[in-house]
Amino acid sequence: MSPTRSRNSTSKNSGLVSDIVITEATTSIVTLTASQAAELIEAGRSLRGSVAHWRSNDEDESESGVTGIAGSTAISVRPRGGDIYDVRPHNIVGVIGLTGAQLIIEPKIPRSHFFHLLARAGPTFRPALRNALVGTGESLKELVATWYVDEIDLLLRGGLLRDYNPRQGELAMVRGSIMVVPTTRNLLSGKLRVECRYEEFEEDTPLNRVLLEAMRLVAIDVHLSETLRRQARRGMARFDHVGAYRRSDLVAVGATLERRAARYAAPIQLAGLILKNAALTPDSGGVLGRTFVVPTAPLVEAAIRNVLSEHLGVRVEKRSAVAMMLPPRTGTLSFDPDLVIDHGRIVGDVKYRVARSSDWQSPERNQLLAFAAAFGSRKAVVVGFASDPAHTPPGLSVGPSNPVEIHAVNWDCSIGQDPAISERQVIDAVTKIL
């Protein structure tokens, strides 16, 4: 039986596949077959290794009503009886392919605002790209793939990085160090070849192999436009000295990025997203298929940091402060605000949730005060979202002497609101606090 329209979710038929549309961080009542429910549970389990990306305290857990599977999961699924299920995706948007259906997970804020922030979240930002992202009706996968191919084009203009790779082989002349035993064996048999160990300075590196593999996935994906696939094939031709992808390459690139060119940061970030999504559909023959999901909370946090950093004229970063436990206990406790502005002049957090009232939430208020104490800051701010500007808590002055100011700033995500105007309002509000 194919999914049908359910309360809190919508369903429509597109050919042989039914579309079930739900919203992230919201519990929806969905009709699924037993096999579809099992596939969805497995998808959530496959993603739980990155649970910090998928689920955060930004969600209102009191409203979820879903316990989910034992352990962490990106998608909570709970049977209600028969073929009816409670489904709650945690901080994730995109499409999950099921047998005979696809689950489309929409962002909790309007799409125009989400795609505006998605463009802002990248290590690099170009207004033309942002406008293209916001102005299209393409799928999320198409947008990310387009963004990736665009980043690769920019990268190739500066050439691919090279690195030294160890090699061993028979050579006509000595290079590097001689392998005595095999070389002696060659000479005694009349073979005038020297077995050497040496290093080759070449483009066949983990970084470049990851980029090439992501380009290959884009080029062969029949769910993407032919124009985009053709662009990817043209880009692949520029990697002619790069070898085949190895499973260890994606792990290896982290340390490499720390010591090599930062211009690889954006394409590697996007390539990793493409490769990880391809791993969610192991039966698709290496094609991304209909499953493509993006963790939203870290993207939104990065977007807000980039917006503020670009316009405030001061350093805006994510940084930790460590507190020592008092005797008799030993150990440390880490405080990890999303926003450390001007070396701690202001600290704060980004909450990817839509405010429903102008009241301060106690955990949120106490978290800001703890961050301020950990960094010695006199001001703290939380940046969230609201569909009604009236749902912004008032500023507070806490403490009898040397008080700490705590402020709330909301991104106006009301229907019809221009995201560029909302961005400007957030910048102005934080500037005023600063």
pLDDT at 285 over 80: no
Last residue of a domain, one of 290, 310, 334: 290
Locate 360 and state its tokens. 């301060």
Query: Considering the chain, what percentage of its residues have pLDDT values greater than 70?
Result: 81
Q: What is the pTM of this model?
A: 0.71
Q: Do 355 and 309 share a structural domain?
A: yes
Last residue of a domain, one of 290, 317, 334: 290
Rg (CA), the chain: 26
Stretch among 67-71, 93-97, 109-113, 404-408 having the lowest mean pLDDT: 67-71
Cα–Cα distance between 32 and 43 in angstroms, integer?
15
Q: Do 70 and 27 share a structural domain?
A: yes
Q: Do 273 and 304 share a structural domain?
A: no
Backbone phi, then psi, for 384, in 5-degree steps?
A: -130, -155
Locate 365 and state its tokens. 């208020």
Task: Tell whether 385 is covered by a domain.
Answer: yes
Cα–Cα distance between 355 and 319 in angstroms, integer?
25
pLDDT for the residue 11: 57
Give me the mean pLDDT over the 391-399 stretch: 94
Q: Do 428 and 313 share a structural domain?
A: yes
Locate 233 and state its tokens. 């094939």
Task: Tell whether 39 is covered by a domain.
Answer: yes
Give me the mean pLDDT over the 214-232 stretch: 93
Task: Tell whether 253 is covered by a domain.
Answer: yes
Cα–Cα distance between 108 and 20 in angstroms, integer?
16
Task: Tell whether 124 is covered by a domain.
Answer: no
Mean pLDDT, the chain, integer: 83
Round to the nearest angstrom and report the end-to-end CA distance of the chain. 58
pLDDT at 373 over 90: yes
Give me the mean pLDDT over the 32-59 stretch: 71
Backbone phi, then psi, for 154, in 5-degree steps?
A: -65, -45
Q: Which amino acid is at 108?
A: K
Q: Do 425 and 350 share a structural domain?
A: yes
Last residue of a domain, one of 290, 318, 343: 290
Please report how the helices 226-236 and 206-220 are oriented relative to each other, as an axis angle in degrees rounded to 10: 150
Task: Tell whether 134 is covered by a domain.
Answer: no
Q: Do 407 and 355 share a structural domain?
A: yes
pLDDT for the residue 180: 93
Calculate the alpha carbon distances from 85 to 41, 61, 73, 93, 234 in Å: 11, 18, 16, 19, 45
277: closest CA among 10, 97, 64? 97
pLDDT for the residue 230: 96
Cα–Cα distance between 11 and 18 in angstroms, integer?
7
pLDDT at 42 over 50: yes
Q: Where are the beta strands (DSSP E) in 387-428?
A: 396-398, 404-412
Q: Do 189 and 94 share a structural domain?
A: no
Who has greater pLDDT, 306 or 61?
306
Say if CB 53 and CB 301 are below 8 A apart: no
Q: Which amino acid is at 8?
A: N
Q: Do 425 and 402 share a structural domain?
A: yes
Give residue 213's pLDDT band: very low, low, confident or very high (50, 70, 90): very high
pLDDT for the residue 274: 87
**What SS3 state is found at 267?**
helix
Which residue stretches of 97-205 are H helix? Answer: 111-121, 127-134, 140-157, 180-188
Domain total in the chain? 4
Peptide bond between residue 328 and the one before it cis (omega within 30 degrees of 0): yes
104: closest CA among 183, 33, 174, 21? 21
DSSP characters for 275-306? HHHHTT-GGGTT--TT-EEEE-HHHHHHHHHH
Give residue 255's pLDDT band: very low, low, confident or very high (50, 70, 90): low
Q: Where are the beta strands (DSSP E) in 67-106?
A: 75-81, 84-89, 92-98, 101-106
Query: Considering the chain, what percentage of its residues have pLDDT values greater than 90?
Result: 54
Task: Tell whether 249 is covered by a domain.
Answer: yes
What is the domain-level CATH number for residue 326?
Answer: 3.90.1570
Dump pLDDT digits (tens) for 54-66.
444 455 443 333 3
Locate 194 and state its tokens. 């020297």
Residue 15: CB atoms within 10 A of its CB come to 5
Say if CB 130 and CB 419 are below 8 A apart: no
Give me the mean pLDDT over the 325-340 stretch: 93
Give me the mean pLDDT over the 323-343 stretch: 93
Q: Do 252 and 153 share a structural domain?
A: yes
pLDDT for the residue 292: 77
Dump pLDDT digits (tens) for 68-98.
333 468 899 999 999 999 999 988 888 888 8
Q: Do 100 and 66 share a structural domain?
A: yes
Q: Do 182 and 192 share a structural domain?
A: yes
Residue 393: CB atoms within 10 A of its CB come to 20
Stretch among 231-240, 259-268, 366-375, 406-415 having the lowest mean pLDDT: 259-268
Dump pLDDT digits (tens) for 124-148.
444 434 444 443 334 678 878 888 9
Q: Is 359 exposed, middle or buried (0-12, 13-18, 19+ CB in 10 A)?
A: exposed
Task: Tell whether 120 is covered by a domain.
Answer: no
Stretch among 142-146, 191-195, 203-207, 349-353 having the lowest mean pLDDT: 142-146
Stretch among 174-188, 240-254, 277-291, 418-432 having the lowest mean pLDDT: 277-291
Q: Do 306 and 270 share a structural domain?
A: no
Give me the mean pLDDT over the 355-375 stretch: 95
- CA dihedral in degrees (246, 249, 251, 254; nearest 10)? -170
305: closest CA among 295, 317, 314? 317
pLDDT at 226 over 80: yes
pLDDT at 244 over 80: yes
Backbone phi, then psi, for 56, in 5-degree steps?
A: -145, 170
- Residue-range definition of the domain harbouring residue 327: 298-433
pLDDT for the residue 131: 43
Give residue 15's pLDDT band: very low, low, confident or very high (50, 70, 90): very low
Task: Tell whether 273 is covered by a domain.
Answer: yes
Stretch among 163-167, 214-218, 309-313, 415-419 having the lowest mean pLDDT: 163-167
Q: Helix-strand-coil percent breakdown of the chain, rounded to 5?
A: 40, 25, 35
